[in-house]
A = this chain, B = another copy of it.
């Protein structure tokens, strides 16, 4: 499996709009086992994303799904900066 842990910062006051965008079309992503959007409780502009995919290829392919590409296009202007981008290798757990 292929995992991602990352965070980024919304433009001031734009976090909720960004979250709404990122949680709107999350269903039809082949190979996606888990995709979690979370607020950082200690930073009003910061968002954490944790993802698990059945493979790196599935994740890469998802970026070309029209709804996902459109979400990314709309999200970019609301993002002030990118932080951690950690690749992991999920091996088990619950809810996958």
Contact = CB atoms under 8 A, between A and B. Distances in A.
Interface in A65-96: 86-96
A35 interface: yes
Given A5-B5, A48-B5, A50-B50, A37 B90 contact: yes
A58 to B, nearest CB: 13
Contacts of A91: 19, 23, 37-39
Contact of A93 (B23, B39, B92, B93): B23
A78 to B, nearest CB: 15
Interface of A: 1, 3, 5, 19, 22-23, 26-27, 29, 32-42, 48, 50, 52, 86-96
Given A3-B36, A32-B94, A37-B90, 15 more contacts: A5-B50, A19-B91, A22-B92, A23-B92, A26-B93, A26-B94, A34-B34, A34-B36, A34-B96, A36-B92, A36-B96, A39-B91, A40-B86, A52-B95, A95-B96
